[in-house]
Amino acid sequence: MSTRDQDADNGDTRRPRHEDAGSEATGTNAPTGERRHAHEVRHRPARPRRVSAARAMRGAAEQLAGLIGTAPESVSALRPTEDGWEADVEVVELERIPDSTSVMASYRVNLDADGELVGYERRRRYARGQTDRRG
């Protein structure tokens, strides 16, 4: 009686394992010639799918307004990150007359891939009429 028949009598109907190229358990990666098991599949790490830039801009402004209670003037920067988006949002913190003396603030807002606010911080305060001096 063969080994396979003995295993079948014991309730084990598995086929004997072969290590040759015709085995179902192994395959050959054609470009490199390396052998791998059929259950080994190579995947690239999946990047989270991000909301669009336009939706991220609106989301950053609206969600920040909900937290600080002041309507944003503009989104001055928007950058994709590994986890979502990073935006700089400009807000009037103190209205003054004339308008050029109003106090503005720049907030850095972090959004996840779904466009949800996960963090923010005020980066600087400045007078509306002030220009950046970069040399």
Whole-number Å distance between alpha carbons of 84 and 56: 9
| Domain coverage including residue 26 | 3-37
Whole-number Å distance between alpha carbons of 108 and 121: 5
Number of domains in the chain: 2
State whether residue 129 is helix, strand or coil. coil
Give the model's confidence band at 133: pLDDT under 50 very low, under 70 low, under 90 confident, else very high.
Answer: confident
Give the model's confidence band at 74: pLDDT under 50 very low, under 70 low, under 90 confident, else very high.
Answer: very high
Two structure tokens written together for 38: 């059929």
Q: Residue range 34-58: average pLDDT?
A: 72
Query: Has this prediction a pTM greater than 0.75?
Result: no
Tell me: do 112 and 58 sit in the same domain. yes
Please give the single-letter amino acid code of residue 25: A
Whole-number Å distance between alpha carbons of 58 and 53: 9
Tell me: do 23 and 74 sit in the same domain. no
